[in-house]
Each structure stands twice: as C-alpha cells, then as structure tokens.
Amino acid sequence: MKQFIYILFLSCVSLMAFSQEESTTDEKPVLSDDDYLPASGDIAIGVDALPYIEFLGNMFSGHDARNMLFLGSSTIYGKYFLSSDAAIRGELYINQRVNTDVAYVQDDANFNTNPRAEVEDMRTIRNNGVGVGLGYQQYRGYNKLRGTYGVVASYFLNKPMIEYQWGNEMSPSNTNPSSTNWYGAGSNPSDRNLEVKDGGSQTIGAGVFAGVEYFFLPKICIGGELGLYYSYTIYDQEYYKYQTVEEGAYQEYDQADEPEESLSNLSTRVYDQDNVAGRLYLLFHF
C-alpha cells in the first residue's frame, strides 16, 4: 500500500511539473518573481510542516509500520502584510494530549468464588497547553528565496492533570484493595490517588527570531526560523486528591504537594519546553 502511495505521489509531482513546463512554453507567459511573492494587503495562513515531513518520510522509507500523523502539538500561523517586505504575525500554539492506560487487576469482591476474575484500573494523563504570539517581521532577499527577521511576544498557559479510576472499591471492608502500581504506592495501598494536578503554569515571553522562506509555487512557501527568547514562568501550587479509610470510615482528602514557584529562562525554545527549538512551516498567501 505504501509503495502504491509513493508511486502515486511521484506521478502527481511529475505531472504537475510537466504541466507547468508545457503551459509556460505553449499557452501562458512565464511567471515573474512578483507573481510568487506576497504583496501589501496579502494575508497568509499556515501550519507546522515538521509533522507532515516526518509522516511522509516514514511512509516512503517503510521505517515504521505504525506510521501516524501526530498533530497533538502544533502551531497555526497567520500574517498580514503591511508591505511586500513587512508583516504583522500572529500564531496559535496548541499542545493537547490525552493518554489513557488500562490494566487488569484481581477482582477482590469475587476472588473467593472465582480466583480468575479481574477488574480494570484506568489512568488518564491530560496535557492542556495553549499559547499565543504576536510579532512584527521584515523580509529581504532576491528572487524566490527571502530572509526574514523580527520580534515576537508570547503567552502560554499549561494545565496538566492525571486522573485515576480504580476497579476495586476502597471501603471499610476493603482497606487495602488490589490496585495497579502506577506511581509506586504498591499493589495493595492503604491510600490511592484520585487526581493529581501537576503544577499548571503561565508563561510570558519576548524574543527575536530570524529565518528563511522559499516560494516553490506562486504564493506558497516553506520556511524555517530560529530565535532567542526570554520567558518568565509562574508555576501553580501542585496538589493531589486521594482516598483512604480512617477509623473505619471512607475519606477523601486534598493534599498540597509543592508551593507556587517561578522561573526565568533564556533559550531558543518557544512556548513549552516540549516544542523544538527550530521551526519549519508551510504558508499559503491570499
């Protein structure tokens, strides 16, 4: 199947190239560089190119039989051109991930009648990150290859959380239920986590960047950039909710884990630290 897609892809590229060459020699005039480049009043929208490059590379090489297009962490770009050589830029960074783990454990309630009976424990890890950026950039260069540089300010909000659902109920009659040992509490804990809020954060930042863009089709370019950014992050208090049995009664408690903290940082990374230092993107201009 992958070989068929690869052959189809190459055929389409070849057909497009042949059609362009034929049309420029027989029907249409040759396009100038101005037909490729954006002009004053143009709007551009685009997305990160790296997930698609990795997907195509794995598909054509056969490196990973389970090759998937992962867009859980991605940036959407937008620009408004004040002139052909200057633009206001905005970007929306989204890092939304949900990972659910399920494991079988002994069914305590039915163990005496059926030692093979099992129930399910479930752990859900959520990462909810959203960042916005606003900046100004200028261009210079020749033909279809242009250099770009500018400044940008950003804000990033991150809210990670872990939730647990247990198959065996904790109660006065079962104070140490059979449980999956996900976080080192043992297989028969006397208290179990229900929810962990692992220090959400807010980050403000500003920086400078530089890069290049190449217009391989009219009004369509692929670009790359690298920057230096200063950021200040405030980490919320971490806490967890847990269940236990005390003096013969079931209880739930909220327990503070770590206090609020702050961090200042100078790096080449944008938004959260999971994002790569350099960025590749694909832009369409209208």
Low-confidence stretches of the chain (pLDDT beneath 50): 1-19, 21-25, 65-67, 69
pLDDT in tens, 135-152: 999 999 888 999 999 999
Neighbours of 189 (CB within 10 A): 21
Tell me the CB-side half-sphere exposure of residue 208, using CA atoms within 13 A. 2
Q: What is the model's pLDDT at position 221?
A: 93
Q: To which H or E segment does residue 11 belong? A: helix 2-26
At 28-40, the pLDDT tens digits run 567 776 788 999 9
Sole residue written with tokens 């236990």: 244
Question: Are the C-beta atoms of residues 170 and 177 closer than 8 Å to each other?
Answer: yes
Six-digit token string for 209: 């960047």
Cβ atoms of 121 and 103 within 8 Å: the answer is yes
| Number of residues written out for the chain | 286
Return the structure tokens found at 134.
């606003």
What three-state secondary structure class fits 198? coil
Contact assessment for residue 48 and residue 278, using Cβ atoms and an 8 Å cutoff:
no
Tell me how far the alpha carbon of residue 8 is from its chain's centroid.
30
From 281, 269, 274, select the one nearest 72 (Cα to Cα).
Answer: 274
| pTM reported for the whole predicted model | 0.73
Dihedral of the CA atoms 21, 26, 29, 33 (nearest 10)? 10
Contact 102, 87 (CB under 8 A): no
